[in-house]
Chains A and B, each alone.
Chain A
């Protein structure tokens, strides 16, 4: 061994410091790249937050004209905007609760059992997630009109459930697939029937996945514009109101509401990660 090695070894030695140099530069580059991406992702949000504190003289909240907190005080001063926000929140809660309930059932079935039609179910789920919203919105409009269903909050909710459910099911299925099967067997072994096993063992364990599915559905619903625009009739949701207002100038309250919704999302994310942290450390 040792007698044959020297020849290749001498040719290998010189590049080592050079490679180290490249790696050093590479680390700097990685830092730069990371900050660039973070900036890219967060800049629009920072602008939104910043302009919630702007004090514009005219109707257009597009150039910085001074700091004020008055929009936070007058958050609900615009009645139309407030009722649009409330409608959006109500629809989002209803749609995400329904999606979470139905999507959990679908996700559990697909993750745990093999059954006829499972492949078709997967395909349909993928299709609804990948099909263009414009197509979905237009066809939902046709469907509702031809069925004679009056457009309004109900049709918006139905539409939102329809496109959110696949996301919940996908998240839950992924969790169920990694669930140790013997946990459910252990429950059965200890005398639990299928119903008790699901509610006492399976559901508490997959709850974080159900919750992220719920959050995803909520986020998809609360700011949906395209599908909502087709199915809203005369109802005005938060995104629809903003769209209408852009032509006459966006009031800073929109930024404030956006900021608060964003803050709520961040708060939930932080709380979730704090809750799951001690488990990770010991596990």
Chain B
């Protein structure tokens, strides 16, 4: 892509009109119950959410957390039991899917098997009665963006999974929707292709400047691509924030466990000094952690530490100002770029440590060896304080 057509201006919302100042998508007090054997089972309990214009927004969570239901409510395939949904500031609650200015990329791609690539991509524009020549121009342009030029006459079944994925993307994007909804679109692809498509998707999103709402259970995918992530669990948003915020400062035990690996350790605040809390682990060891000034000593806390923030020492380190925890190595797994240790700490919980293989091979702790773990105070993070 050397040139970018005018309607692909990255800042303004694409398609029609000027910037309205409204969020692209807004949920206000939305609840969704499903009837199961005559009983109302909540899929989404309470949702208040605003997704900004041109954002790459991910709904992340395990299956059954309500993320797909949330997306289907944006598309209009499900109506909320209570609450309202706004697209670009306009109330669309109860509006039929074919009357909504959003498009979706389905998990199964849902390409029309009896139509070729050109006809698939042109489907939406034909419904809008766009002129034939204009359709041809826009389809050609879109196929170029998704790198499928020259494949217009192919049948979906003659294409690979990755190519079908691009057709599905083109079919949705060619309509210049207010928002593009993607329902686990990379789930069916193999790892290599998935990683490649993650980069591609991000590039395409930048290029067309459309709001992307991305549903996934893959935290790696969400972290890589998103501007903001909503981590959902049990029909509620557990945490909403940037990938870095969610990873570095998980708001709940669930988020800490779901996003990457977290080491959790229980302790009690012994005293607070210059904003640094000294946490007594009950094993005679102490952990340092920044705490808000309002936190009183004597309170029980749960400390979260990411595995890659921890240094592993084979001899007792002289480390003033660092947290030090000792333990015995129970597992060593070599991963090429890093070695992952599992350490049974004296304080009681198992710690996972990712050690970059930057040093010599002899400098590797073995199973059963006594080791010392250190990390800086700012890498301790309290859960739920």
Distance to closest chain B CB from A11 (angstroms): 41
User: Are A180 and B110 in contact (CB-based, < 8 A)?
Assistant: yes
> Does A154 have its Cβ within 8 Å of any Cβ on chain B?
no
Q: Which residues of A contact B175 (CB under 8 A)?
A: 190-191
User: At the interface with chain A, which of B13-21, B96-104, B229-237?
Assistant: B96-104
* Chain B residues with a Cβ under 8 A of chain A: 75-77, 96-98, 102-104, 106-108, 110-114, 123-124, 127-128, 155, 157-158, 171-172, 175
Instruction: Name the one of A182, A193, A283 contacting B110, with C-beta atoms under 8 angstroms.
Output: A182
Q: Which of B77, B96, B127, B158 contacts A190 (CB 8 A)?
A: B127
Docked-complex contact B75 and A189, CB < 8 angstroms: yes
30 A-B pairs whose Cβ atoms sit less than 8 Å apart in the complex: A180-B108, A182-B107, A182-B110, A183-B110, A183-B112, A183-B113, A185-B75, A185-B104, A186-B111, A186-B112, A188-B77, A189-B102, A189-B103, A189-B104, A189-B172, A190-B98, A190-B103, A190-B123, A190-B127, A190-B171, A191-B98, A191-B124, A191-B175, A193-B98, A201-B112, A204-B114, A205-B112, A279-B155, A282-B155, A283-B157
Q: Interface size (A, Cβ < 8 Å)?
A: 20
What does DSSP make chain A's interface, helix, strand, loop or mixed? helix
Q: Please, which residue of chain A has its CB at the minimum distance from the CB of B158? A: A282
Contact partners of B123 in chain A: CB under 8 A = 187, 190, 192, 200
Q: Which residue of B lies closest to A280 (CB)?
A: B157
B106 touching A188 by the CB < 8 A rule? no
With contact pairs A192-B127, A196-B127 given, residues A185 and B110 touching in the complex (Cβ less than 8 Å)? yes
Interface string of A169-191 (1 = CB under 8 A from B): 00000000000101101111111
Cα A2 to Cα B97 with chains together (Å): 63
* Interchain residue pairs A-B with the least CB separation, the first 6: A191-B127, A190-B124, A186-B110, A182-B110, A188-B97, A204-B114
Return chain B residues, CB-CB under 8 Å to A183: 110, 112-113
Pick from A188, A189, A196, A200 the residue with the most CB of B within 10 Å. A189
Chain B residues with Cβ below 8 Å from A188 are 76-77, 96-98
**Are the C-beta atoms of B112 and A191 separated by less than 8 Å?**
no
The chain B residue with its CB closest to the CB of A194 is B98
Taken together as a complex, chains A and B put the C-alpha atoms of A279 and B103 apart, in Å, by 28
Residues of chain A within 8 A of B110, CB atoms compared: 180, 182-183, 185-186
A185 to B107, CA, bound (A): 12
CB-CB under 8 A from B127, the residues of chain A are 190-192, 196
- Which residues of A lie under 8 Å from residue B103 when comparing CB positions? 189-190
Residues in A neighbouring B75, C-beta threshold 8 A: 185, 189
CB distance from A4 to the nearest CB of B (A): 29
A190 to B177, CA, bound (A): 10
Contacts of B111 in A (CB 8 A): 186
Closest A residue, CB atoms, query B100:
A189
CB of B112 within 8 A of CB of A282, answer no
CA–CA, A204 and B123, complex, Å: 14
**Contact partner, B97, options A189, A205, A279, Cβ 8 Å:** A189
Smallest CB–CB gap between A192 and chain B, Å? 5
Which chain B residues border A279 with CB–CB below 8 Å?
A: 155, 157
Within 8 Å by CB of B157, from A191, A196, A282, lies A282
CB distance from B131 to the nearest CB of A (A): 16
